């Protein structure tokens, strides 16, 4: 499962059983830790998730940002709560790529905003899956 974690939303993607392709699932509107974890637990169980890839937002030069530290804390807490390994994955430019992808698909700005987080999660997870291939 791949996650694009923001302060207001969490984009969610899962892979196929062969770990070849990532598919965007949903965008979770964040409300509370308990509600967010319950929703993510259900997705993980329904999709037999064995590991979670969380996008780590870095500055373009690779330095950490305050947001990357918040996401790392979220990832550690999520790993402990769900008892699943969590991998932090460089997410530089994934939101930009997601926006471009949705624009090329012909979606208007308001519609793109509804889907950008799950598409970004899809790009994060696909990047990780591609790194597993020889």
Q: Alpha-carbon distance 30 to 12, whole Å?
A: 12
The pLDDT, as a whole number, for residue 117 is: 80
* Measured distance CA(76)–CA(93) in Å, rounded: 23
Structural fold of domain 2-132: Nucleotidyltransferase; domain 5 (3.30.420)
pLDDT number for residue 107: 58
What pLDDT does 42 receive?
97
E strand map for the chain? 2-5, 9-15, 22-29, 52-56, 86-90
DSSP helix, strand, coil percent of the chain (3-state; round to 5)? 50, 25, 30
**Phi/psi of residue 48, nearest 5 degrees:** 50, 50
Residues 12 and 40: beta-carbon distance below 8 Å? yes
Which residues are bridge partners to 52 per DSSP?
A: 86
Per-residue pLDDT of the chain (134 residues; tens, 9 = 90+): 999 999 999 999 999 988 899 998 989 999 999 999 999 999 999 999 999 999 998 777 878 888 889 999 999 999 999 999 999 988 765 665 656 665 666 656 666 566 668 888 998 999 999 998 88
pLDDT on residue 114:
65
Count other Cβ atoms within 10 Å, centred on residue 131: 9
Q: So where are the chain's domains?
A: 2-132
pTM over 0.85? The answer is no
């Amino acid at each position: 499962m791949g996650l694009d974690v923001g302060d207001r939303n969490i984009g969610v993607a899962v892979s196929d059983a062969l770990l070849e392709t990532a598919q965007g699932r949903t965008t979770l509107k964040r409300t509370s830790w308990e509600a967010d974890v319950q929703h993510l637990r259900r997705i993980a169980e329904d999709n037999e998730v064995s590991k979670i890839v969380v996008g780590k937002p870095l500055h373009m030069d690779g330095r950490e940002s305050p947001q990357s530290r918040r996401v790392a804390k979220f990832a550690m807490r999520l790993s402990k709560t769900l008892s699943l390994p969590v991998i932090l994955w460089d997410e530089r430019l994934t939101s930009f790529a997601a926006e471009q992808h949705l624009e090329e698909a012909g979606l208007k700005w308001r519609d793109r905003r509804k889907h950008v987080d799950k598409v970004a999660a899809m790009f994060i997870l696909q990047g990780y899956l591609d790194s597993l291939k020889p």
